[in-house]
Amino acid sequence: MILFLLCFFGVKASLLVRDKNNPCVAYGNASTFNITSLFNWPVQVTEGGYIYNLDCRGGVFPNATTVNIAVGQQSSRTGIHYNAGEVTGALWFAEFNWFRGSSSTFQIMYPASQTKVIYPPYDADGEGIRVSHLTFVVDKTVPKPTIEMLGEKPYTEYNFVIRGKCIGQPDRSTEKGYCDPAL
């Protein structure tokens, strides 16, 4: 399954190890990725008639039955909420040997879990078919982190880009070992 996802989404990086206590942290080889203080979570982005709520900790829909939703999609027209990605299934990708390479990006993929049978007869509510893909770009020309919704392509894949000079990427010059946007 992971190999399929790597090929399908064109990720050219290693799978990172997620922290067992903090869903906003992952590790490579002697490197820490920490987006805990990247934004004042949850962060909201509006695009194409939808409101997207993102939170690396989960819980974007307080009254939802699934509390680990990291990306929620809400129709501006109907107010209906959709699970667009969960914390529990999150996959983090980056150059595993961050300091050896010249990489300036890392990624998180948040798939929604499939809790119902989705083959015929298909229940068209869209449960379990959404995935959100966040690409983090270290850009020294952007002093404060920004987030942009790039669109829904392919269908039911929601693409976001986060840019900034300090976006939680590994940084050996700090005591914490990562660039903390809160500082």
3-state SS of 98-123 is: CCCCCCCEEEEEEECCCCCCCCCCCC
For 147-171, the pLDDT digits (tens) are 999 998 888 899 999 999 999 999 9
pLDDT (tens digit, 9 = 90+) per residue, 83-141? 899 999 999 999 988 988 778 999 999 998 877 655 555 555 667 788 999 999 999 99
Rg of the chain, C-alpha, whole Å: 16
What pLDDT does 116 receive?
63
Residue type, 22: N
CA angle (179, 182, 183) in 5-degree steps? 70
pLDDT tens digits along 27-74: 999 999 999 999 999 999 999 899 999 999 998 876 555 678 999 999
CA–CA separation, 155 vs 132, rounded Å? Answer: 11
